[in-house]
Amino acid sequence: MVYPQLLSAIQSTDELVAGSMDADAALIWSVLWFGKMSGNKRVWDHYRAQGKPVVVIEVGGLIRNETWKLGINGINRDADFALDVGINPDRVKHLGIERAPWVLEDKPYILVCGQHAHSLQWQDMPDMDTYFRETVTDLRKYYDKPIVLRAHPRYRERVHFQIQDEQWYKDQGCEWQIAKKVQQTYDSFDLEDQLKETYLTVSHSSNAGVNSIIQGIPAVTTCHSLAWEMSSTYRERVCYRREEWLINMCNIEWRADEIGTQWQRLRTKL
């Protein structure tokens, strides 16, 4: 796991104090205020209220469970990943990330991805049923394709949030689909397979937008997403050049044995 390597890197430069609410900066795992990580919200609120930085480590999206993100004061596009400290253009090759050609031909459906509503990522967003309804309504102004609705695998429709009007979704040509866990993995799901039949993806700020762009599927995202610079609109699918963007993505995610390098980069900004 990456956590011991990160703690070792921090201890090589600074004093690390467990559980302190009076340090110069805090370190937390993820910004999901749920389950065993729910206590992190108290740490986040306390340090941010004092104007002190919070370093956040979380699982990456480029190589799930092999790469990790380490940023300051948030995740995704809301975080500072110290990209201005320096960019290594060779990391795309180093991580073995390959861009698929843009998929320009027609595909069967549009894919809308939800997120976990207990995450800081979902702050100021509507309840999940409302989000899906509003997104479908916007899409129907421009497209008549079938729409697949894919809730977060740990924030499922009818389990973690209720659907107020099942018939409305059916009348709009929507189908709910359960994300399937990839066998013999810890935390990977079948989004890549799903994208093979997808014409356009829609997401708020999750890894779905990034993965969609890498796989050559145009994506509609918000300004909180790391895919924002590549984002399409509801009105038009766009296929931008991805070279510089992908270099940045690969300088945001690091393998466990590289996380000390990212810590050194972040430390210059703390």
For each of the domains in the chain, give its residue range(s) and CATH number, in order of start.
Answer: 3-87+253-267 (no CATH), 109-241 (3.40.50)
Of 5-19, 95-109, 160-174, 185-199, give the lowest mean pLDDT range: 185-199
Q: How many helices (H) and strands (E) does the chain have?
A: 9, 9
pLDDT in tens, 182-202: 544 445 556 888 899 999 999
pLDDT of residue 188: 54
Q: What are phi and psi of 13, to 5 degrees?
A: -125, -25
Q: Round the average pLDDT of the chain to a whole number and report it.
A: 94
**Separation between Cα atoms, residue 194 and residue 31, nearest integer Å:** 27
pLDDT in tens, 241-261: 999 999 999 999 999 999 999
Indicate the pTM of the whole model: 0.94
**Strands of the sheet with 253-255, listed across from one edge:** 26-29, 54-59, 67-72, 253-255
pLDDT in tens, 201-219: 999 999 999 999 999 999 9
Sequence-distant (6+) residues with CB within 8 A of 122 are 115, 116, 204
Mean pLDDT of all residues in 221-240? 97
**Separation between Cα atoms, residue 140 and residue 129, nearest integer Å:** 17
Percent of the chain with pLDDT over 70: 96
pLDDT in tens, 108-155: 999 999 999 999 999 999 999 999 999 999 999 999 999 999 999 999
